[in-house]
Amino acid sequence: MIRVALSHDIDRTEKTYQFFTKPTRALFQGRFKAFILLLKTFFHFENYWTFDDIISIESNFNVKSTFFFLNESIKFSLKKPKSFVLAFGRYNILSPKITNLIKWLDKNGWEIGVHGSYNSFQNVNLLKHEKEVLEKIVGHEVIGVRQHYLNLIDKTWENQNLAGFKYDSSYGSTKLTGFLNNKTTPFNPLKNTFTVFPLVIMDTCFMENENRWNDLDLYLDICEKENAILVVNFHNHVFNENEFPGFRDAYIKIIEICKKRNAVFNTISEYYHNKG
């Protein structure tokens, strides 16, 4: 049996600094069509609000996914240039628009998880806070986490466990697809019930892989033989076709290929509770 878990890291819901960087990059790279398309969206601040599209796609296939929501606490500082990307333009998880979305997804069968903020991988109190905030929104326990930028150190899983999480899905690569260090099946690093679900496919890594469709078949073979789970992560912003041409179609094709191979689709929490 092939098992699949679809997921989405929600980093941004609006375009911000990328208004300036992406058109400029496209122009200097000679991608004039992309430059014009990006300029056309210059004053449209909700191009990353793609949730209706994601919901529609998954509903058409009768599948549900896990949405990891970010509550970034880093403040912008002129002395720390990196903080510009991390802090500027982040959504407020407590805004009515975001909380209504989270509640609707949760009520209608999608899973809600914490997308641990940039520094939370090394701060148990920050993890606890972000978990509690999200739990107040949905009105029940939140058991899953994936760290922003897939940040992990030796103590991260221990911190997540102490914060009350039941599983993590940060174990993967930001550059390549596949099973990191050949760890194919969910594992228990703390020798208790805390479970790590390896991340296999992330959107940009997948699209930059020229052999992506052959590799997908190989990953599905591994899942079938070793009882592994194909965990897929497509950020919400890549469903913007103007800026990420082909990503949306690739997501659909992944689901179609898995369906043709009679894959079972569940949220990550469902796999955690069912243990299979």
Confidence of residue 19 (pLDDT cuts 50, 70, 90): very low
pLDDT higher than 90, residue 174: yes
Sign of CA dihedral 76, 84, 52, 265: negative
Q: What is the pLDDT of residues 20-70, one digit of tens each?
A: 455 555 666 666 665 555 555 555 555 899 999 999 999 999 999 999 999
pLDDT tens profile 137-172 = 999 999 999 999 999 999 999 999 999 999 999 999
> Closest by alpha carbon to 128, among 138, 139, 118, 142?
142
**Predicted local distance difference test score (pLDDT) of residue 195:** 98
Report whether 99 contacts 139 (CB < 8 A). Answer: no
Helix (H, G, I), strand (E, B) or coil at 147: strand
Exposed, middle or buried, 79 (CB in 10 Å: 0-12/13-18/19+)? exposed
Provide the mean pLDDT of the chain: 89
User: Residues 230-254: pLDDT tens digits?
Assistant: 999 999 999 999 889 999 999 999 9
Provide the pLDDT confidence category of residue 90 given band limits of 50, 70 and 90.
confident
Q: What percent of the chain has pLDDT over 90?
A: 79
Taking the model in full, what pTM does it have?
0.89
Structure-block tokens of residue 45: 């601040």
Q: State whether residue 233 is helix, strand or coil.
A: strand
- Tokens 């800026």 belong to 243
Q: How many CB atoms lie within 10 A of CB 73?
A: 15
Question: In degrees rounded to 5, what are phi and psi of residue 3?
Answer: -115, 135
Q: Could you tell me the pLDDT band of residue 79, with boundaries at 50, 70 and 90?
A: low
Delimit the domains of the chain by residue range. 3-274
pLDDT number for residue 242: 84
* Consecutive H or E run containing 144: strand 144-147
CA angle 190, 159, 118 (to 5 degrees): 130
Position 217 scores a pLDDT of 98
Query: Would you state the pLDDT for residue 127?
Result: 98
Write out the CATH class of domain 3-274: alpha beta
